Amino acid sequence: MCNFIDTHCHLDAPEFAPDADAVRQQAAALGVRHCVLPAVTRAGWPAVQQLAQRFGDSYALGIHPLYTGSAADADLAALEALLAQQIGDPRLVAVGEIGLDHFVPGLDAARQLHFYRAQLRLARRFDLPVILHVRRSADALLRALREIPVPGGIAHAFNGSWQQAQAFVALGFKLGFGGALTFERALQLRRLATQLPLAALVLETDAPDMPPQWLYTPAAARGAGQAQGRNSPAELPRIAQTLAALRGLTLEELARATTANALAALPRLAPLLGAETA
């Protein structure tokens, strides 16, 4: 069986409250040997720490751009204090999920940028990579990264241009690909996933969000009362199979490469996983 790393999974989300243990066990049985659990709010920091410990996974601490409207500078001070306290915890692997969202209406762009830049400075101070939320915001994210360099990381759910992809890679980032890749109509994303160097790619689910095509429920069906399929880390091997087919690789080749890429993006994973790469 191939082994995989889900580099972005929100097992602390309310959708998993009834059965997180069963969900993680199912994923492990299918070869998902490790999940990275990024936080999205201050209130969620304890949960990702506890889940990572319970499941033998890892976590990231940060404030997501969608939640900056309800966050305060006191939360940044609390993040700094917690990072200082936990930097010796081997399961802390990054600052995240942080970034900018220029898609969702009604968000304060300046406020998002304030929190993003402050968290970049914290990542730089503690020598940690970052896990970036990138939604119609790649150029602004890159500008700040050039001003406040950090030790690389992952551009999560990447769906930008070829030039933007190259810019992230040049700054030491890997690019996260997940369920969106499985949609046959995602032509630009599939081109990127095929043409980028294999060394630039990591796998993710963003569970419970971003369901792959086989779980997706169209808006009309949702409006008629049909529930959206819940994404989970157990879907990662099938997502990986889609990417392997697009690139003409065996699943084992892709698993080995993307695991090595995840270890390069998040170096603190290596001691947790040992010497194996697939």
Question: How crowded is the C-beta side of 275, counted as CA atoms within 13 Å?
Answer: 0
Kindly report the number of other CB atoms within 10 A of residue 231's CB atom: 24
Q: How far is Cα 6 from Cα 202, in angstroms, rounded to an integer?
A: 8
The token duo for 50 is 């506890």
Instruction: Give the start-to-end residue ranges of the domains of the chain.
Output: 4-273
pLDDT at position 225 is 74
The token duo for 117 is 């830049």
Fold of 4-273: TIM Barrel (3.20.20)
The whole-number average pLDDT for the span 252-271 is: 98
Residue 37 DSSP code: E
Q: What is the pTM of this model?
A: 0.96
Confidence of residue 276 (pLDDT cuts 50, 70, 90): very low
Confidence of residue 278 (pLDDT cuts 50, 70, 90): very low
Residue pointed to by tokens 């580099």: 7
* Tens-place pLDDT, residues 15-54: 999 999 999 999 999 999 999 999 999 999 999 999 999 9
- Measured in degrees and rounded to the nearest 5, phi and psi for residue 243 equal -65, -40
- SS3 state at 176: strand
pLDDT at position 214 is 96
* Tens-place pLDDT, residues 98-140: 999 999 999 999 999 999 999 999 999 999 999 999 999 999 9
Residue 277 has pLDDT above 90, yes or no: no
Counting beta carbons within 10 angstroms of the beta carbon of residue 43, is it exposed (0 to 12), middle (13 to 18) or buried (19 or more)? exposed
Alpha helices, DSSP H, located in the chain: 20-29, 45-55, 73-86, 109-125, 138-147, 162-170, 187-195, 219-223, 236-247, 251-265, 269-273
